[in-house]
Structure 1
């Protein structure tokens, strides 16, 4: 009987060893708790650029890549974004990403995120903060440089067509006032124009980054100033609205009035190829992969650069057709 009991005991230990060995070779499948949860407080859906930016995040932060994305559309309202951030904190997400509507008024809610131990990453637009430790990194375009590049393009273009000694009447369709894209682009444009005595900035007014408002403001500009030579529109959609307004008064956009815009979405290329838009300064919306790189570095305990600019180019009627097939947005 004793031998039989010992034999059964040996069998038990052998069987147990086989079970544990098998478990080591076949780890348990991943569950929802293994995913990195990211909350994204988006500005809204005011433009083609914003749509592409949203899609970049939605296609990057998917379960197959190890993420769960909680997306919130603020509909252009800061109070909605603040509410979304607080909801993210309550849900105990791993990271918060914000594309802020405006630059100011964020200290309180970001301090709440910091107190909760949730890193905050800024996308596209920047914030003016008294404490820079409230966010870990910002990803976006160099808006000041974009504004400067737009005036540099105008200088070069006018010289190429023999009009560099002509006086130019200029109007500016600004983006949402107080947004970092508006602030940087306006500064670059205004400072660039001031360097040339032939440039006269007749008026500037916000078109709120939307096509409808851009058209409305351009209509008022055309009534007030019949001899406009150049329009700067701080995004493509406002430029599209300006084009419609210019056509409505019997003028030819891109010829009678030079039009320069920002973002360089696919439809802007169509407008350049058609001759209706003269130039588009790129603002790359594909921030999702760059933000994912930052998160992966932080997950491994690494450090990241505070400011991370995306690569951007300048396009015009001369290169639009050749570059259009490669556009992803």
Structure 2
């Protein structure tokens, strides 16, 4: 396993210079285009051949995902030597499988995707293997007995993210009995499964910390608000001390519900989230969120580097883990002026 300390790997390839220049164009929560166009620097390989890439994205459920999409589209450009075909699965596995089969039919050089859920991919991955098209996983993993069906997976360690969130709650708030409600990500997805596992592991030895309610908010702000409204009604506001949200967007939706109930987020109910997108960081700086564990979305340059190495026949690491930071209010205030996403 290789770890990288930021949104790029250390590897030599013909496109490294172009890829690193592309990083400056990444980030922001704005809408990304579907044609893969961007104002990134760099140039195509000397032989003029573009690397064709089919990329299937989960959807556009959050600010994190928007930044991730933009990073990929800003980097996999013709100027940098790529021909990108991009699809949005709209959170549906069947759409993603259809897109991957379309890329196989197009005979692209490389297929990359961020899986909606962990299971159910073996058949389509076997089809890609039969067509001799390498597959790279980004952000999320798949659960398969045959790891030879993909060449590399790059993304954060979701279990560790959950552990870091749980450790902060246990050490800073769990000095007395507290009740925690949990907003889970999309059911069956790697980040939802792993962040829950990590959090529960970190609080397991602290009898003061109890998860009293847990429900999916599908990583969206709207569902985060709806589910939090339900928690306030079913549990009673006076019985909720902490909210753990699997991403910032759900936490931001929950803040709306808490404020609508006449409560003060960050004080009446402490809030811990994961991602560290700009809106979440602003809420942390404002004291409405208490702690955030980062999940860096700027994976475009890493993906470009891995794809280039795979096409060149070079060996790549099977698992590349992005190093993420964590933020309290003071750290958020300091980081916000230069935040890329």
Same-fold status (TM-score > 0.5): yes
1:66-87 Cα deviation digits (max 9, x unpaired): 0011000000000000000000
Picking from 93, 96, 117, the partner of 1:81 is: 96
1:294 aligns with 2:309: no
- Please list, as runs of the form range in 1=range in 2, the aligned pairs for 1:163-242 lying within 5 A after superposition: 164-226=174-236, 227-242=239-254
Distance across 2 between alignment mates of 1:314 and 1:264:
8
Secondary structure, counterpart of 1:319 in structure 2: helix
Give the Å deviation of 1:30: 8.3
Residue 259 (structure 1) aligns with: 271
Residue 288 (structure 2) aligns with: 276
- Please list, as runs of the form range in 1=range in 2, the aligned pairs for 1:53-72 lying within 5 A after superposition: 53-72=68-87
- Please list, as runs of the form range in 1=range in 2, the aligned pairs for 1:150-169 lying within 5 A after superposition: 150-158=165-173, 164-169=174-179
Higher relative contact order (CA 8 A, sep 6+): 2
Change (3 A) 1:32 1:93: farther
Secondary structure, counterpart of 1:56 in structure 2: helix
Unaligned ranges ≥5, structure 1: 1-28, 159-163
Give the Å deviation of 1:299: 2.6
Distance across 2 between alignment mates of 1:265 and 1:326:
12
Residue 28 (structure 2) aligns with: none
Residue 132 (structure 1) aligns with: 147
RMSD of the alignment, in Å? 1.5
Distance across 2 between alignment mates of 1:104 and 1:35:
32
TM-score (norm 2): 0.84
Give the Å deviation of 1:301: 2.0
1:205-226 Cα deviation digits (max 9, x unpaired): 0001011111111011011112
1:262-315 Cα deviation digits (max 9, x unpaired): 110011111011111111110111111111111122233211111111120101
Unaligned ranges ≥5, structure 2: 1-43
Runs of 4 or more above 6 Å deviation? 29-33
Pairs aligned (count): 296
Residue 25 (structure 1) aligns with: none
